Structure 1
Amino acid sequence: MPTVKPSTVLGRQLGEELRKFREAAGVSMAQAAETLDCTKGKISRIENGHVPVRTPDLIALMQAYGVEEPVSRERLAALARRANRRRREGWWHRYASVLSDTYVDQIEMEAICESVRTYQVQLIPGLLQTEEYGRAVTVASRAWRTPEEIDRFVQVRIARQKRLTDEAPIEYWAVLAEGVLRQQMGGPHVMSAQLEHLVAMVQKPNVTIQVLPFSRGAHSGMFGPYLLLSFPQMASLDLVLTEMPTGNIWMEGETEVACYRTLFDDARMAALPPTESLALIQRIAKEYRS
């Protein structure tokens, strides 16, 4: 049976709360390590969300930190359960055979985040793709070879899109380089339908799409695609996912995340306003139909 890897963000949230309780109680890392009969390094990794917290360890730490209030104890216990089990319990688990670890992490984070901001230079982002466009991208990637693998991966991509329409949808803001709209995937018919889908999506109050036209020239965010995920009430948990041909990379450091926040702000300021972006999308969609 494969090891269940804890969710980074949930683990960090649990670790952050444990750190606050430890400091409020005046307990040093060395003293916490004595409680668990472990090294200070393990306490540090727990507080940074890099290792799971077993139930006996959590109980021992709460006792050492004087966490006696039932609501606080249950919140920490529930957070630990979610952090350690989310991958096993998520709908995406049944598609594990066609998903990389990084992609599973992305789906997990989308399931609990509050907002996603993304800049794309080549492709329509996955949460906005039609099935036909997503299939064309999947086939072109050559990462999935059999028809069954391709079908399953496309199913995952479509299932992810429910985060834009569920009871508590994420706030989604995409800045697309103009080349994204003009790079043909699947031919003119597929592209026309895809751009019409973008037109429909921007009618939703939680979806914003801007286009950065060729005429804008050089700008600070033009060097690669990325996603910036934000989480409720805790900006310190924000994450960046950079997309690369050899594999996507998560960035968690506050300095790195702050840099990408600035890059995204630069991109959206350089891009056309939403209404002008919509007009451009509609114009290019018409070109594909002609």
Structure 2
Amino acid sequence: MIKILTLTLCIFYSGSIIANANKPEQSSESHSAATQQASNKEKQRGFLYGMGIAFNQEIYQGYNKRIIPIPFIGYQGEKLKVLGPFISYDIASSDNATIAVIVAPTFKGFDESDSDVFIGMKKRSSSVAAGIGLRYNWHNWKANIANTHDILSKSNGHIITASLARTFNKGPIFIEPSLTLTYQDSNYVDYYYGVKQHEQLASRVAYTGQSALNTSLGLSISTPIFFNGFTRLSTQYTRYDSSITNSPLVDEEASLSVTLLFSRFF
């Protein structure tokens, strides 16, 4: 099985932030200039490419961590944004808010070769989710809500994600702490963390997953100063709902992921 990783690629707009790299501190006037530069950069269109590496801790038993290279190619247009398998198309917008159709892979799943705890269990497959997202920007605040559903009928799961972030900048360095709440319905949780009656063993009891609400704290540091592109280092700590951590397949209550990405327009 191809090793898969739970991560969120947050660089649809990685080419859209730019600032004055020559001044370590900014007055209100220079800050306004940097904001205007960022606005102009956000209008850049065209194809982009990038590469990265991701580290992720797993909460499944015996399936501790993975390090995965991330090559990608994408496109940023006025309404259409593509980053590898992640697609977003804006269908309505105002000065601060945008509604978009979104399509994204669900990087989840396992088979028997991934860990001894999965021996005798049916493979759980990754899938593709699609739905509607709302983005709202106000000054340096960003709010996002996404409502998606498994369109390949692997889990038939439903996911709602809400996040709030605040951007701070020090010259050309941008720091963004964030808080994310993720609701996963019972179909999703039962598919990826449940154990069917015919899959139970003495060491692995049957388990029916219920809906979950997970909480994540994130921090990203990004800059446009390297190689005429955009570099982003992100880390995210996720605390899982008890309906997930009570699964006999799970032996951790939280996970940590770290992703380093570089992107550049052709």
TM class by smaller structure: under 0.3
TM-score normalised by the chain length of structure 2: 0.25
Q: State which structure, 1 or 2, has the greater radius of gyration over its C-alpha atoms.
A: 1
More strand by share: 2
TM-score normalised by the chain length of structure 1: 0.23
